[in-house]
C-alpha cells in the first residue's frame, strides 16, 4: 500500500485543520516530554544532604575538553571496536561464501551436515558463543569476540547467499553447463557473482548487526568503546562523569551505525534499480532473508514442476 490516501476520503478543509491542530498538539506534547526529561536531568540533585550539580552542569562535562581523553577514547575505544568489527566482517564474508557453496553442494553428505551446523549456530546467542570460545579454546577476549562474530554472521551470510543462489533462474546454470563448464566452474563464474550482487544489501545490513554486536565484548572483557568509556574512564574519573560518558558512547555508536546503515540503504536502492528484482529491505536482514529464502523455494518448486524432477 503506497499511501494511506486510498483508505479514506481525501481530507477536506475541516479534516485537514483537525489533523494540523492535532499534529501541533502532539508535537507540543512530545516536546514537553523531552523538555521534562532534560529539565529533570539538569536540576541539581540532593544526595544524603549534599547538593550535586545537574547532569548538564559544566563540571560534569569538563573532562571532554581534554584532548587526551578524546585520544584515549578514539585510540582505544573506537579503534578497538572497529578493528574487531572489520576483522570479523572480512572473515564472516569469507566464511559465508564457503558455507553457501558447501550448503548448496550436490553431494548430500556435505550439504546436510553443513545445514545442521548452520541451524545450530544460528539458533544460539552470540554471547554464548563468545563465552564458549573464551573458556574452551582459551583464546583471549579479542579472538573470542572476533571468532564468535565471524561464526554467527558467517552462518547468516552463508544462508543469504544460498538463498540468492537458489533464486537464480535455472537457465543460468544450464547455460553454463551447456558451454562445457564443469559444475563448480559454472557455480563460481556464472551463478555466484549474480547471487552475491543480489544479496549484497543483506550482507551489508548484516555487517551493521555485526558492528552493533561488537559491544557484547563489554561482557566478555574485550576492550572496546563501551568498556573504555564506562569502565576505564568511568573508574578513572569517578562516578560524577558516568552519565556524560554514557551519552558520548551512545553518540559515537550512533554515528558509526547510522553511517553504515545509510550505506546499506543506498546500496539496496542502487542494486534494486539495476537488477529490477525484488527489493530486499536492508533495515531488517532477518526478515529480508526470510522473504528471499521463501521466494527462492517457491521459485524452485515452480521450476521443478515445469521442468520435471531437478537435480536438487
Partner 1 sequence: MDAVIENLPTYWRGFSMTLLLLGVSGVSALVLGTVIASMRISPVASLRGFATVYTELIRNTPLTLVLLFCAIILPYLGSRLEYSVAAMIGLSVYTSPFVAEALRSGINGVPVGQAEAARSVGLGFGQTVGLIVLPQAFRMTIPPLINVFIALTKNTSVAGGFFVFELFAGGRELANANGDAVIPILLGVATLYLVITVPLGVIAGQLERKWVVQR
Identify whether the C-beta of residue 283 lies closer than 8 Å to the C-beta of residue 100.
no
Cα separations (Å) of 294 from 43, 162, 291, 311?
54, 12, 5, 19
The angle formed by the CA atoms of residues 63, 67 and 71, to the nearest 5 degrees, is: 105
Quick check: 86 binds partner 1 (CB under 8 A)? no
Quick check: 235 binds partner 1 (CB under 8 A)? no
Piece of the chain touching partner 1 by CB under 8 A; list 26-34, 88-96, 141-149, 168-176:
26-34
Quick check: 128 binds partner 1 (CB under 8 A)? yes
Which one of 120, 174, 182, 275 is in contact with partner 1 (CB under 8 A)? 120
Rounded Cα distance, 300 and 69, in Å: 57
Cβ partners under 8 Å of residue 282, min gap 6: 201, 202, 204, 205, 261, 264, 265, 267, 268, 288
C-beta closer to partner 1: residue 20 or 189:
20
Quick check: 117 binds partner 1 (CB under 8 A)? no
* Minimum distance of partner 1 from residue 258's CB (angstroms): 5
Query: Cell numbers at residue 104, please?
Result: 548448496
C-beta closer to partner 1: residue 147 or 186:
147
* Minimum distance of partner 1 from residue 304's CB (angstroms): 13
Phi, psi of 45 (to 5 degrees): -115, 145
For CA atoms 174, 178, 183, 189, the dihedral sign is negative
Query: Residues interacting with partner 1, by CB under 8 A?
Result: 1-2, 4, 6-8, 11, 19, 22-24, 26-27, 30, 41, 45, 119-120, 122-128, 131-132, 135-136, 208, 212-216, 218-219, 226, 230, 239, 242-243, 246, 249-250, 253-254, 257-258, 261, 281, 283-284, 286-287, 290-291, 293-295, 297-298, 301
Amino acid at each position: 500500500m503506497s499511501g494511506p490516501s486510498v483508505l479514506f476520503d481525501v481530507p477536506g478543509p475541516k479534516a485537514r485543520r483537525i489533523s494540523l491542530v492535532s499534529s501541533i498538539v502532539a508535537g507540543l506534547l512530545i516536546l514537553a516530554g523531552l523538555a521534562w526529561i532534560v529539565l529533570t536531568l539538569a536540576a541539581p540533585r540532593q544526595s544524603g544532604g549534599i547538593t550535586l550539580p545537574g547532569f548538564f552542569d559544566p563540571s560534569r562535562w569538563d573532562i571532554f575538553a581534554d584532548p587526551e581523553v578524546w585520544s584515549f577514547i578514539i585510540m582505544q575505544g573506537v579503534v578497538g571496536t572497529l578493528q574487531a568489527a572489520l576483522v570479523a566482517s572480512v572473515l564472516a564474508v569469507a566464511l559465508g561464501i564457503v558455507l553457501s557453496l558447501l550448503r548448496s553442494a550436490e553431494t548430500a553428505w556435505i550439504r546436510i551436515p553443513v545445514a545442521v551446523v548452520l541451524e545450530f549456530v544460528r539458533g544460539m546467542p552470540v554471547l554464548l558463543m563468545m563465552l564458549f570460545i573464551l573458556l574452551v579454546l582459551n583464546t583471549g577476549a579479542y579472538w573470542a569476540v572476533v571468532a564468535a562474530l565471524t561464526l554467527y554472521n558467517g552462518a547468516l551470510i552463508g544462508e543469504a547467499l544460498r538463498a540468492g543462489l537458489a533464486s537464480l533462474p535455472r537457465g543460468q546454470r544450464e547455460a553454463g553447463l551447456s558451454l562445457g563448464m564443469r559444475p563448480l566452474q559454472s557455480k563460481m563464474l556464472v551463478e555466484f557473482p549474480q547471487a552475491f550482487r543480489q544479496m549484497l544489501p543483506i550482507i551489508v545490513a548484516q555487517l551493521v548487526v555485526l558492528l552493533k554486536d561488537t559491544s557484547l565484548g563489554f561482557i566478555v572483557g574485550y576492550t572496546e568503546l563501551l568498556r573504555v568509556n564506562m569502565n576505564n574512564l568511568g573508574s578513572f574519573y569517578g562516578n560524577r562523569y558516568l552519565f556524560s560518558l554514557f551519552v558520548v558512547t551512545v553518540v559515537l555508536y550512533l554515528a558509526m551505525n547510522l553511517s553504515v546503515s545509510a550505506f546499506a540503504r543506498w546500496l539496496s536502492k542502487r542494486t534494486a534499480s539495476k537488477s529490477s528484482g525484488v527489493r530486499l529491505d536492508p533495515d531488517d536482514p532477518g526478515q529480508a532473508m526470510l522473504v528471499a529464502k521463501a521466494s527462492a523455494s517457491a521459485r524452485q518448486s515452480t521450476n521443478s514442476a515445469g521442468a520435471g524432477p531437478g537435480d536438487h
